[in-house]
Amino acid sequence: MAQTATGTRRPELIGGIGDRSAAAPGRAAARRWLPDAVLGAAGVGLGAAVGSVLTSETRGQLTQAGGVATVVGSLTGMVGAYLALLMVLLISRLPLVERTIGQDRLARWHRRLAPWPIALLALHAIAITVGYAQAARVGPWHEVGTLLSAYPGVTIATAGLGLMLAIGLVSLRAVRNRLSRETWWLIHLWMYVALAISFVHVVVLGPSFVVHPVATDLWDAAWAAAAGAILAYRFGLPVVRSVRHRLSVVDVRTEAPGVVSIVCKGRDLERLDVRGGQFFEWRFLARGLWWQAHPYSLSSLPRPPYVRLTVKGVGDHSKALAALRPGTKIAIEGPYGAFTNDARTRRRVALVAGGIGVTAIRSLLEEMPRTAEPVVVLRASKPEDLALRAEVADLVKERRGSLQEVVGARDEIELDAKALRRLVPGIAERDVFVSGPESFVFHVVETLRAMGIPDEQLHYEAYAF
């Protein structure tokens, strides 16, 4: 099952132990406080949001007809809108946050948070309607009619809420798993529209529940900053980088059945501040592909003027890349990801790749120094599926590490605790980097946790979609 491999070189893309591999563990240690700081700041913001509503209410308002429902409506509206703001910030691609926390963790936070603002804003609409109806001593449906006909801002907000609820339903895992990445992405774009029109409602009506002018200004500034971050980092920066580097396809090579490497050429790649293990969102400007961007890791560090990605065909986009023509222009967004040598806390490492997860492991390995004594575990169903195996073997050899290939059907060979201990000597004293399909990554990471390896030594990139 386990063996060591050797192979041939592709001159322009194979890295030896270069300057970048000397990076010692701990560069990120200085930034390890960032996730806690981000969560702390989010908590302070939540406190301020709740406080701004509560301090606006008087005891007299609460005892009036409909007072309790209206206060509940104000609170749920404020907290729901605040959590929606956080959701937007989590995916705004702020570079420092991306690099330290990692896009997959941010996306997971975003996914976990998402049901809350939607539910709270729905509750806000119900509670405010009930509160106003009780105050006016009319039925709730009568009040719905009054609010929709007399206040254009409410009509707009109701449309926004309807959109959010629809997107929330589509986001349920059972529905989402049936959609292609691009359909999912297009539907998701509507969330920006929903949030924008809901914000119009706040502007038109004024955040009536916030009486302090400073709080109102802070609220407006926070939304303006979130919109600015989205525009700058999700749209502006990618355009600037794409124009600056002018990437285009120069070669498409088969690496394994259904797996191709795409070699791209560009300008000024020395200025592309990218680390081994990171990924870009790639937009190939060819017919049928230009409108969608997909994440693919670098499968080797840039060798200016070249850079390379390696792709396994699983769906429309990834399969179409095998037919790319030389000269096809490329727009990029990134680099993203915290799956880098910066995350290392121990001297020695183990790198574990499931299937096409070898891409991130391959470029990460280039940055590992000899002192990291890397043990690389490659997992595949069949020997011919071990893409980039020869290159990985060369890099491992240069670092005097060891390469373990685990080949066989999933139901026959499992990477359980016993196997991992046998394959990786001293695994508990190493940082372990795991990449590949989501199910593989989560299985290995859970096994490592159960073996008592602390979270700070575990780093992973799940190729989820």
The nearer residue to ligand FAD, 356 or 378, going by C-beta atoms, is 356
The nearer residue to ligand FAD, 185 or 190, going by C-beta atoms, is 185
Q: Does 109 bind ligand FAD (CB under 6 A)?
A: no
Q: Does 460 bind ligand FAD (CB under 6 A)?
A: no
Which one of the spans 75-83, 177-185, 230-238, 368-376 is the region binding ligand FAD (CB under 6 A)?
Answer: 177-185
The candidate with the shortest Cα–Cα distance to 78, out of 165, 217, 192, 202, is 202
The CA-atom distances, in angstroms, between 134 and each of 65, 131, 139, 271, 452 are 6, 5, 8, 63, 57
Rounded Cα–Cα distance for residues 248 and 241 (Å): 13
Which one of the spans 22-30, 186-194, 346-354, 456-464 is the region binding ligand FAD (CB under 6 A)?
Answer: 456-464
CA torsion sign for 45, 49, 50, 52 is positive
Which one of the spans 40-48, 62-70, 174-182, 393-401 is the region binding ligand FAD (CB under 6 A)?
Answer: 174-182
Q: What is the x/- site pattern for ligand FAD, positions 119-158, by CB under 6 A?
A: ----------------------------------------
User: Which of 99, 124, 181, 459 contacts ligand FAD by CB under 6 A?
Assistant: 181
Q: Considering only residues 325 through 364, tell me which ones interact with ligand FAD, judged by CB under 6 A.
A: 356, 359
Residue 106 exposed, middle or buried by CB count within 10 Å (0-12, 13-18, 19+): buried
Q: Does 464 bind ligand FAD (CB under 6 A)?
A: yes
Collapsing DSSP to helix, strand or coil, 81 comes out as helix
Which token pair is 243? 């124009």
Total residues at interface with ligand FAD (CB under 6 A):
24
Total Cβ atoms within 10 A of residue 43:
10
CB of 176 to ligand FAD, least distance (A): 9
Long-range contacts of 50-57 (CB under 8 A, 24+ apart): 50/75, 50/78, 50/79, 52/78, 52/209, 52/210, 52/212, 52/215, 52/219, 53/78, 53/209, 53/210, 55/212, 56/209, 56/210, 56/211, 56/212
The candidate with the shortest Cα–Cα distance to 430, out of 450, 459, 403, is 459
Q: What are phi and psi of 344, to 5 degrees?
A: -65, 135
User: Which of 352, 437, 443, 459 contacts ligand FAD by CB under 6 A?
Assistant: 437
The nearer residue to ligand FAD, 8 or 177, going by C-beta atoms, is 177
CB of 296 to ligand FAD, least distance (A): 4
Total Cβ atoms within 10 A of residue 287:
8
Q: Does 280 bind ligand FAD (CB under 6 A)?
A: no
Q: Considering only residues 288 through 317, tell me which ones interact with ligand FAD, judged by CB under 6 A.
A: 294-297, 309-312, 314-317
User: Which of 3, 149, 180, 208 contacts ligand FAD by CB under 6 A?
Assistant: 180
Rounded Cα–Cα distance for residues 261 and 398 (Å): 23
CB of 289 to ligand FAD, least distance (A): 10
Residues that bind ligand FAD (CB under 6 A): 177, 180-181, 279, 294-297, 309-312, 314-318, 356, 359, 437, 461, 463-465
